[in-house]
Structure 1
Amino acid sequence: MTEEQLDKLRLDGTKVRVVRDALELNDVVGFVVAWDDENVLIRRPNRRVVKLKRSYAIVPASEPRPDVLTEN
């Protein structure tokens, strides 16, 4: 995900889903807070902040969940 896309998600306040593996249970849902070259910070609904790798799939939560097994 590019810097511009992350900035748009942050400014719009769009809820995102970070897909880490094939299990939907392991997804992180929240709002983009900040990022650098390698990581992104997501604020979860419980107000805790999670630091995740930018290599994970980041999609708006309103869109269907991507199937990470078939895309890789």
Structure 2
Amino acid sequence: MASKVSFKGKGKAAAKGADERSAAKCMKEWSTWAMKKAKVITHYGFIPLIIVIGMNSEPKPQLYQLLSPV
């Protein structure tokens, strides 16, 4: 009763495909992470950026003049 042993080696082609899938998954995760961070930075940084640009323009307004609706 000899059992038949079969080796299903991945080989170079299968290993390369696994690496490509892994790299694609890593790239997708990284881009998702980066977009989430960019969204938060944009959300919380837009108003301060406008205030800083307004403070450095000519004529130089006071902070309350920038924040008042009139």
Question: When the two structures are superposed, what TM-score results if normalisation uses the length of structure 1?
Answer: 0.23
Question: When the two structures are superposed, what TM-score results if normalisation uses the length of structure 2?
Answer: 0.23
Structure 1 or 2: more strand by fraction: 1
Structure 1 or 2: more helix by fraction: 2
More relative contact order, 1 or 2 (CA 8 Å, 6+ apart): 1
Structure having the higher Rg: 2
